[in-house]
């Protein structure tokens, strides 16, 4: 495999330049190996001995020479072309490679002065890697220049596109592992090029690294016939440039030429679109890099082939500390890079090694794009008064909350028309989620064919719709981590598709928050609507309120869950989350007409409290503790609770009922466990220590128990919620099936207030009768009973 196909038409680097690139690459490879193995003797100034070797050998060698090669050549491109660039390293398990490059270019020592660019610092760099108290084995938030952990494979390319949107000056390179390319999210990500506007967005340069192997297997793409792979990549809309070989000098020439060619083409497309008004979708270049896994590492270990096989994936010589033969092989391997040519007597990289390295913030490890908080500007949010609904009396007027929110988002979109730092992503549901007002301010990003029947498609649109929750999530993460703002609106049930991606983002934020040099970024905001209770068109497959359960397992310093019960509380919540930093905020809100309960001022106060008593809804007179607390969270549970409170007023006027509404679910957690958690004294004052609490909750009831189990009154807490009884039926039947309906809530009160059941047996019967009536009515009429459908709060 020594022949390298060199693309034509690119400027060729000189022999000296190739030698310098090779020196940089060798230095990076040396440093990657050193990190995996050594805890002393970094410059091999004495023969390697077992005590120089780490007791636990942890890390990934196989991908590292490829990442080092790409980094070396990106350095050259950035330097020679004065390009603003960053890179997303898909095989993030190659942490040693990216750390090595950051150390070489100096960004590492600037970020972490203890790891200086000299002998002592090299020693520290080696020892800290995968070592207790040190740095993780993967590219991570700790790694300068990164926005992408790459531990959970699949999201590199979608992150790269997210970084490129609305950064017209930026080139985002992205290494995609050939194993990673087998994942669903990565496979979908190729289509991101149909959403990239050559005028307002930057460019993405994918580098598909066909090193042939994953952990224990060959990769699918590496074993396709050439024409099939080529057809696939062209089918994805790319114009691949191939680089292949295992002879370093040949590959350096080929890769330098390929990068030149790719960047020339990118420049050409951007020029055509920006100054000549070209409107055809570019066939963006990409590079296919076929080099051996574990290239330059041991060819054979214990009689088995390692280089250019899957065995090179992790630590190719596992027994160095105890096995003299492995130790000798390691020393030979490290010396094969000729460290004496690469580092001076003080351990500093030589001028030749640094020849390709760019300066200042142009360095990949120092680019502000990868520390996006540095670039972040506050969103211009409109006064909420411009969008608030008027509420003269609670529970009498109906609005679609998300439609009201749509007006606010339209304003934000309009106000960011020039600065372009706000996007809304969603899997084809923006209009269905009643956010269509956005289209007054912008279109939907689209670079593919447009037909006269299409609506709102626009090359420069900042609403992004693609039927891949993975892409929505990845684009938005990339966009936020490079210093912008956004919102992801999704059907509630299908947010689960990105459970795993959001895990990674939460981990990223949790770690970033503890790094002094990472500036806070805008929060990742979800609007979950078309929720479990109102899946009128769809039914059971679309009913799952469990995303918030998942989220609330995660780092409390990062996660927030809001259940605004009406339009004004939704506005106030949205205003809050769009201003926040470094959080993952989940808002669950309805899109169907729902009662307005609070004026804007009341909504603001209620949201600021996060949970509070609605005095006007209860029947307490203040002279004694309430007999029962009706608590609720979520729009539909709030409606049922209010209706239950109305029934209790009518049937049992002497009962002292307190109504509590919870907007911020984390208020229920202990104060010690979450920054929003209520202190016990406050919780006890709101919910009482010993009165029955009938809690109508939007999602799975166990969540409320989980959050509140430590509270004094937990034994008196009775939660109703969704218990997986779903189908296509009437709105009220959904709550009846799950025992969350107003009649059932009243029965719960009768069953739990001591002595009340016997006194109020007639009321209980009336409630049971209403449920029976409901059952028959919907089967006959196909719609809810008038007493339910026409209900309004009478106060
Ligand atoms: C989603 C996911 N599944 C499985 C793994 C475990 N894993 C870690 S590295 C790896 C192989 C990656 O191969 P490739 O993308 O080709 O990267 P290379 O190391 O060859 O550059 C696998 C399967 C993972 N990290 N993420
Ligand atoms: Mg691979």
C-alpha 358 – ligand 1 centre gap (Å): 30
Q: What is the pLDDT of residues 238-286, one digit of tens each?
A: 999 999 999 999 999 999 999 999 999 999 999 999 999 998 999 999 9
Query: Rounded to 5 degrees, what angle do the CA atoms 20, 23, 28 make?
Result: 130
Question: Residue 291: CB within 6 Å of ligand 1?
Answer: no
User: For a substitution probing ligand 1, which of 69, 180, 216 has the most ligand atoms within 8 Å of its CB?
Assistant: 180
User: For a substitution probing ligand 1, which of 156, 215, 310 has the most ligand atoms within 8 Å of its CB?
Assistant: 215
**pLDDT tier at 95, thresholds 50, 70, 90:** very high
Nearest ligand 1 atom to the CA of 94 is 19
Predicted confidence at residue 5, as pLDDT, reads 40
The span from the CA of 427 to the CA of 536, in Å, is 19
The span from the CA of 674 to the CA of 683, in Å, is 14
**pLDDT tier at 493, thresholds 50, 70, 90:** very high
Nearest ligand 1 atom to the CA of 313 is 19
CA-closest candidate to residue 638, choices 611, 599, 602? 611
**For range 122-126, the mean pLDDT:** 98
Q: Which ligand is nearest to the CA of 186?
A: 1
Q: Is the pTM of this model over 0.95?
A: yes
Predicted confidence at residue 251, as pLDDT, reads 98
Instruction: Tell me the backbone φ, ψ of residue 405, rounded to 5 degrees.
Output: -60, -35
Question: Residue 185: CB within 6 Å of ligand 1?
Answer: no
C-alpha 179 – ligand 2 centre gap (Å): 5
Nearest ligand 1 atom to the CA of 67 is 21
Question: Residue 152: CB within 6 Å of ligand 1?
Answer: yes
**For range 53-72, the mean pLDDT:** 97
The span from the CA of 562 to the CA of 552, in Å, is 11
C-alpha 190 – ligand 2 centre gap (Å): 18
**pLDDT tier at 377, thresholds 50, 70, 90:** very high
Question: Residue 298: CB within 6 Å of ligand 1?
Answer: no
Q: Which ligand is nearest to the CA of 177?
A: 1
Predicted confidence at residue 691, as pLDDT, reads 97
Predicted confidence at residue 2, as pLDDT, reads 34
Question: Which residue's C-alpha comes closest to atom 19 of ligand 1?
Answer: 63
Mean pLDDT, the chain, rounded, equals 96
Question: Which residue's C-alpha comes closest to atom 18 of ligand 1?
Answer: 63
Predicted confidence at residue 11, as pLDDT, reads 66
Question: Residue 177: CB within 6 Å of ligand 1?
Answer: yes
Sign of CA dihedral 593, 597, 601, 606: negative
Predicted confidence at residue 538, as pLDDT, reads 87
**For range 158-167, the mean pLDDT:** 98
pLDDT at 410 over 80: yes
Q: Which ligand is nearest to the CA of 314?
A: 1
Beta-strand relationship, 524-529 and 485-491: parallel
The span from the CA of 674 to the CA of 668, in Å, is 9
pLDDT at 8 over 80: no
Predicted confidence at residue 535, as pLDDT, reads 84
Q: What is the pLDDT of residues 752-779, one digit of tens each?
A: 999 998 999 999 999 999 999 999 999 9
C-alpha 513 – ligand 2 centre gap (Å): 32
Predicted confidence at residue 4, as pLDDT, reads 39
Q: Which ligand is nearest to the CA of 294?
A: 1
What DSSP string runs through 37-90?
HBSS-TT--S---GGGB-SS-----TTHHHHHHHHHHHHHHHHHHT-EEEEEES
Q: What is the pLDDT of residues 537-569, one digit of tens each?
A: 888 999 999 999 999 999 999 999 999 999 999
Predicted confidence at residue 622, as pLDDT, reads 84
**pLDDT tier at 7, thresholds 50, 70, 90:** very low
SS (H, E, C) 268-333: HHHHHHHHCCCCCCCCCEEEEEECCCCCCCCCEECCEECCCCHHHCCCCCCCCCCCHHHHHHHHHH
């Amino acid at each position: 495999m020594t022949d390298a196909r060199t693309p034509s038409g690119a400027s060729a680097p000189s022999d000296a330049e190739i030698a310098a690139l090779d020196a940089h690459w060798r230095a990076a490879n040396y440093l990657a190996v050193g990190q995996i193995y050594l805890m002393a003797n970094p410059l091999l100034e004495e023969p390697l001995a077992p005590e120089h070797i780490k007791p636990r050998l942890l890390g990934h060698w196989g991908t590292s020479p490829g990442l080092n090669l790409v980094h070396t050549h990106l350095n050259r491109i950035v330097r020679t072309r004065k390009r603003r660039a960053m890179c997303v390293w898909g095989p993030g398990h190659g942490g040693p490679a990216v750390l090595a490059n950051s150390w070489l270019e100096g960004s590492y020592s600037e970020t972490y002065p203890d790891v200086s660019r000299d002998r002592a610092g090299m020693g520290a760099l080696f020892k800290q890697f995968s070592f207790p108290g040190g740095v993780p084995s993967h590219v991570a938030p700790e790694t300068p220049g990164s926005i992408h952990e790459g531990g959970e494979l699949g999201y590199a390319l979608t992150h790269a596109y997210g970084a490129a949107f609305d950064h017209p000056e930026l080139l985002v390179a992205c290494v995609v592992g050939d194993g990673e390319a087998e994942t669903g999210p990565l496979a979908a990500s190729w289509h991101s090029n149909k959403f990239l506007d050559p005028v307002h967005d930057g460019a993405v340069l994918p580098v598909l690294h066909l090193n042939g192997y994953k952990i224990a297997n060959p990769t699918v793409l590496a074993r396709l016939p050439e024409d099939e792979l080529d057809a696939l990549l062209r089918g994805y809309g790319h114009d691949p440039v191939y680089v292949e070989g295992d002879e370093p000098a040949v590959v350096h020439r080929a890769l330098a030429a390929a990068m030149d060619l790719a960047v020339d083409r990118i420049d050409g497309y951007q020029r055509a679109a920006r100054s000549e008004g070209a409107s055809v979708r570019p066939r963006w270049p990409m590079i296919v890099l076929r080099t051996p896994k574990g290239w330059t590492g041991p060819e054979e270990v214990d009689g088995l082939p390692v280089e250019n096989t899957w065995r090179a994936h992790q630590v190719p010589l596992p027994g160095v500390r105890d096995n003299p033969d492995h130790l000798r092989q390691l020393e030979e391997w490290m010396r094969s890079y000729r460290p004496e040519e690469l580092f001076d007597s003080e351990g500093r990289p030589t001028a030749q090694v640094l020849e390709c390295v760019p300066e200042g913030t142009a360095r990949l490890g120092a680019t502000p794009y990868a520390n996006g908080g540095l670039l972040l500007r506050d969103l211009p949010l409109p006064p909420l008064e411009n969008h608030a609904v008027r509420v003269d009396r609670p529970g009498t007027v109906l609005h679609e909350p998300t439609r009201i929110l749509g007006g606010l988002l339209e304003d934000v979109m309009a106000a960011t028309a020039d600065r372009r730092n706000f996007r809304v992503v969603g899997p084809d549901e923006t209009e269905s989620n009643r956010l269509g007002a956005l289209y007054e301010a912008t279109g939907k990003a689209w670079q593919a064919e447009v037909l006269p029947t299409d609506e709102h498609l626009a090359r420069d649109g900042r609403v992004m719709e693609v039927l891949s929750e993975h892409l929505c999530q990845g684009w938005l993460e990339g966009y936020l981590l490079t210093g912008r703002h956004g919102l992801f609106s999704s059907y509630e049930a299908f947010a689960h598709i990105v459970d795993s991606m959001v895990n990674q983002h939460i981990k990223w934020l949790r770690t970033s928050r503890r790094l002094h040099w990472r500036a806070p970024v805008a929060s990742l905001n979800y609007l979950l609507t078309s929720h479990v209770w109102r899946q009128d068109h769809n039914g059971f497959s679309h009913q799952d309120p469990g995303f918030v359960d998942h989220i609330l397992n995660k780092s409390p310093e990062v996660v927030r869950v809001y259940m605004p019960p009406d339009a004004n509380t939704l506005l106030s919540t949205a205003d809050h989350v769009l201003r926040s930093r470094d959080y993952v905020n989940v808002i669950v809100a309805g899109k169907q007409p729902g009662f307005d309960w609070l004026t804007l001022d009341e909504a603001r106060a209620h949201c600021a409290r996060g949970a509070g008593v609605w005095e006007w809804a209860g029947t307490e007179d203040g002279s004694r503790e309430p007999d029962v607390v009706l608590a609720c969270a979520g729009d539909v549970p709030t409606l049922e609770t209010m209706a239950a409170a109305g029934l209790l007023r009518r049937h049992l006027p002497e009962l002292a009922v307190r109504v509590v509404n919870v907007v911020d679910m984390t208020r229920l957690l202990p104060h010690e466990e979450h920054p929003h958690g209520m202190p016990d004294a406050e919780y006890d004052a709101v919910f009482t220590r010993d009165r029955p609490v009938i809690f109508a909750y939007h999602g799975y009831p166990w969540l409320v128990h989980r959050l509140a189990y430590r509270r004094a009154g937990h034994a008196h807490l009775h939660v109703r919620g969704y218990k997986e009884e779903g189908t296509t039926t009437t709105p009220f039947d959904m709550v009846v099936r799950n025992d969350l309906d107003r009649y059932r809530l009243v029965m719960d009160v009768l069953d739990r207030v001591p002595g009340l059941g016997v006194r109020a047996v007639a009321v209980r019967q009336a409630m049971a009768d209403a449920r029976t009536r409901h059952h028959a009515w919907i089967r006959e009429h196909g719609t809810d009973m008038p007493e339910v459908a026409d209900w309004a709060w009478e106060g």
